[in-house]
Structure 1
């Protein structure tokens, strides 16, 4: 698990879009201590209207271990580890099959779409969301098996924490759970149980409680949630569209080789050596996977990482299939062949993950800015960009908090500049200042009014010394 989730976790610079926005949410929460309202660029963040559970964890990580890429992504990686351990515990405690637990863990940590971008290897919401929804789904299944009320409460609390992580996306597994309750004839077990209704109340207090508190402190927040989260399901946001079969078409990329193992599901039901709980869980898993795929496929907004929530359940399902194949025949040779095929598939996927984890070549110039301190010790600098860049803002904030004299300015086409960060500290450029140009355009625009001297370069990022205004601009 270490090499899948932890190794080289901080090697990549903070990435554009979601990760860099959340990095700014976390560093502003760290600095100002407002744990209810996420802030971005010094203002309440209503564009990213999701609740702040992930940001809470990232801020805590900053406080415990310092501010850097590794500590920012650590909560996502730990969520991956905890999810793997939950599968292991579930197999031991409920399925009562140690081999199934080990195989489940091996499949999960070799799923490329799970141990990768936007899930367990970056500082996004999806790994922590998947932790809570996996725990919730397995808890409800466990309750159908042993009627222990602690699993019922654990399920409701898990889904509530999922809502605090990524809003209504945490509820996309619940249709499958309800269908399983119906076809397994467990309706009375749930709906005639007082703890079921207490659990609903607990869920509402935790999840809706945050929304009401946030809206009272920042009026209009719930309207932003409705627009960004609920209505997004029926409209395409920021050009993230796709056909109905978008996720089916991408599955072989997300879970290479393992996807085809699901075609062997019939062996689970004809196996006489698998215990009934494993067969019931197979039915549960199939329903969860199919209904979830149906739900996200009907959404107009489609992104590859939306499928991540079913990867742990899918991993457990594949492990049951392999276990049933191993137990189907008594021949040690056949068992050895099956295990050899499993290990080969695991190796192919896991080696791909390890190669990805060693990858550092992220070509976008704004992101390359994050590698500067690995190559140059800049204790005082001004970052210059022709457009707003959340990764640059994060690194400037980080350097300021770490005691460096850093500033971020935006240069306009005519050569004029505006200070982006720190807020309310404009300041003038002084001759001799170190300038870091984050793109070719920023350098071109800046030189229309100012003189500089190039002193260093990293990839497409230029480092200059400021020489003052040009004569016709003085």
Structure 2
């Protein structure tokens, strides 16, 4: 067997390229399945998803789209600007007060990011690059199922704006107006996830510096980019200031930026290797492909140094990956979804370098077979995990109780007192979505004082056991596997 005889595989590669449009459509259909299948079936998750969902619901009910509230009180724990709330508001308008409405715009943004990766890779590099990049994004498990595309959080929309901003840096050399897009995308990323968007500016400065372009950009483009970045944020700050002064802005700076960077908040601990360990457990096989491809590129660097597209692409992808990875490894608060913006860069980088291995003249059939096997195995492995995760759903009996109340007009819209609505945010949101209840954290004491007809008390079974022998003549309305709902 001649190890340098690559003609058989070359013919297969050319055949695949001829089928590009059919294959990319099939991959995008798989992406649709991974993102939308049973999207509205899985229970609401507490904390970020539920918190965002409550704020969006209460924006509609109070007709106040500037200040995010929780229990109709200004929320100074969730310190995100309004775009993530607005996206859920739009989801509710399109799909109703349901978990589908809660997640719909995140899912659309997730699919849009995959489409942009496919389009960008195809436009600047080629068909194999596009197919591989799209497969990688479609089967990136953290991106699909962990706080992103299938979740009513801010991250999927943030990653979309982040991706648009960074890809604009390469497109800037083809059309200078893309720098305005960079600025606007930064603004929308900031208005989605606050200070996290700072990564975009750092990546832009480093990329232009490495490419020796930083001081060659005409001042009119720099001013235009600054204006497009500042004006949307400034408008929001002015509108927010009119509602509660500098309270929200000061808390954003003091807590969400300074405290979160310098200390470990809310139990999110981890050392310098936190994200290395996370990627090993959730992205290991794609990391192997990425590293193999990058090594091949640098080994062959002399041959590709004159190809500006490849050099710019690999330079940008490496910067795009390393900046958030290093910055979030340094800060004290560690959360695995902080590095979500890395995944489009990894996918495009894998697409570029896999194509080099497959098409490079000095390759041999063993290297081709290895990289094809790794891409196939990685895609299959993670697709199986994603399919299992989205197919096996365990319902939350406490949230199901809220659906039952929603079907009873006698109790719909009534007060619901909870022992700890901070910890039971998923129940809080389901109470609002399914029955338009008015949850309160005043617990038993508030319930006993309330003279409203059909006011209710939500008590988990563990909490109920702590009430002791005195049951205050409570009448059981509903019982679930984990909780009771009482009336007087």
TM-score, structure 2 length as denominator?
Answer: 0.83
1:317-342: per-residue Cα shift (whole Å, max 9, x none)? 11122111111357678645532431
Counterpart of 1:299 in structure 2 is 331
2:260 is the counterpart of 1:204: no
The corresponding residue for 2:377 is 344
- 1:160-199 deviation line (CA, Å, top 9, x unaligned): 1001001110121332321121121112442x24122111
Paired residues for 1:353-368 under 5 Å: 353-361=386-394, 368=397
Q: 2: distance between equivalents of 1:434 and 1:238?
A: 31
Equivalent pair of 2:402/2:434 in contact (CA under 8 Å): no
Whole-Å separation in 2 of the counterparts to 1:124 and 1:163: 15
Answer whether contact 2:81 2:190 (CA < 8 A) is retained: yes
Residue 419 of structure 2: aligned partner:
386
Give the TM-score taking structure 1 as reference length: 0.86
Aligned to 1:286: 318
Does the residue aligned with 1:115 lie in a helix, a strand or coil? helix
Give the CA deviation at 1:251: 1.2
Please name the residue that 2:11 is paired with.
none
Please state how far the C-alpha of 1:238 moved relative to its aligned partner.
1.2
**Is the 2:93–2:101 contact (alpha carbons within 8 Å) kept by the matching residues of 1?**
no
> Residues 23-102 of structure 1: matches in 2 within 5 Å?
23-95=53-125, 97-102=126-131
Relative to total residues, which structure has the larger helix share, 1 or 2? 2
C-alpha change, 1:384 and 1:358, in structure 2 (3 Å) is farther
Per the alignment, residue 10 of structure 2 pairs with none
Q: Following TM superposition, by how much is the alpha carbon of 1:436 offset from its aligned partner in structure 2, in angstroms?
A: 5.6
| Alignment match of 1:239 (pick from 253, 261, 267) | 267
Q: Using the TM superposition, name which of 298-307 and 253-262 deviates more.
A: 253-262
Displacement of 1:393 after TM fit?
A: 2.1
Contact 2:270–2:334 at 8 Å: present in 1 too?
yes
- Counterpart of 1:471 in structure 2 is none
Unaligned runs of 5+ in 2: 1-30
- 1:58, 1:75 within 8 Å by CA — same for their partners in 2? yes
User: 212-221 or 335-344: which moved more?
Assistant: 335-344
Give 1:459 deviation, angstroms. Answer: 2.7
Post-superposition Cα deviations, 1:273-305, rounded to whole Å, max 9, x if no partner, equal 895412321122112211221111111111011
Q: 1:411 to 1:205 in 2, by over 3 A?
A: closer
Is the CA contact (8 Å cut-off) linking 1:409 and 1:419 kept in structure 2?
no
Residues 391/328 of structure 1: CA separation in 2 closer, same or farther (3 Å cut): same
Deviation at 1:126, TM superposition (A): 1.0
The count of residues paired between Structure 1 and Structure 2 equals 445
Q: Distance in 1 between matches of 2:276 and 2:432?
A: 41
Q: How many angstroms apart in 2 are the aligned matches of 1:452 and 1:48?
A: 35
Conserved in 1, the CA contact under 8 Å of 2:407 and 2:435? no
Match of 2:353 among 315, 321, 334: 321
Query: Cα 1:407–1:134, aligned 2, differ >3 Å: closer, same or farther?
Result: closer
Q: State yes or no: 1:167 paired with 2:200.
A: no
User: What aligned pairs does 1:403-422 form with structure 2 within 5 A after superposition?
Assistant: 406=437, 408=439, 416-419=444-447
> Taking structure 1 as reference, are residues 99 and 375 closer, same or farther at Cα in structure 2, changes over 3 Å only?
farther
1-structure distance, mates of 2:335, 2:355: 32
* Structure 1 alignment gaps of length 5 or more: 469-474
Spell out the pairing of 1:174-185 with structure 2 (5 A cutoff). 174-185=201-212
Match of 2:197, SS? Answer: helix
* Mapping for residues 383-462 of structure 1, pairs under 5 Å: 385-388=418-421, 389-401=424-436, 406=437, 408=439, 416-419=444-447, 426-428=450-452, 437-442=459-464, 444-445=466-467, 448-451=470-473, 457-462=479-484
**Distance between the aligned counterparts of 2:221 and 2:468, measured in 1?**
66
**Deviation sequence 1:12-65 (CA, Å, 0-9, x none):** 211111111111101001212211111111112222121010110110111122
1:385 Cα deviation from its structure 2 partner:
3.7
Per the alignment, do residues 374 and 407 of structure 1 end up closer, same or farther by CA in structure 2, a change over 3 Å counting? closer
* CA pair 346-447 structure 1, distance change in 2 beyond 3 A: farther
Residues 384 and 442 in structure 1, CA contact (< 8 A), matched pair in contact too? no
Cα pair distance change 1:408/1:171, threshold 3 Å:
closer
CA drift of 1:395 comes to: 1.9
Residue 399 of structure 1, CA deviation: 3.0
1:131-146 aligned at under 5 Å gives the runs 131-143=160-172, 145-146=173-174
> What is the CA-CA distance between 1:358 and the residue it aligns to?
2.0
Q: Is the 8 A contact 1:384 1:408 kept in 2?
A: yes
- C-alpha displacement of 1:419: 4.4
Q: RMSD between aligned alpha carbons?
A: 2.8
Please say if 1:215 is aligned against 2:241.
Answer: yes
Q: Structure 2: how far apart are the matches of 1:368 and 1:309?
A: 34
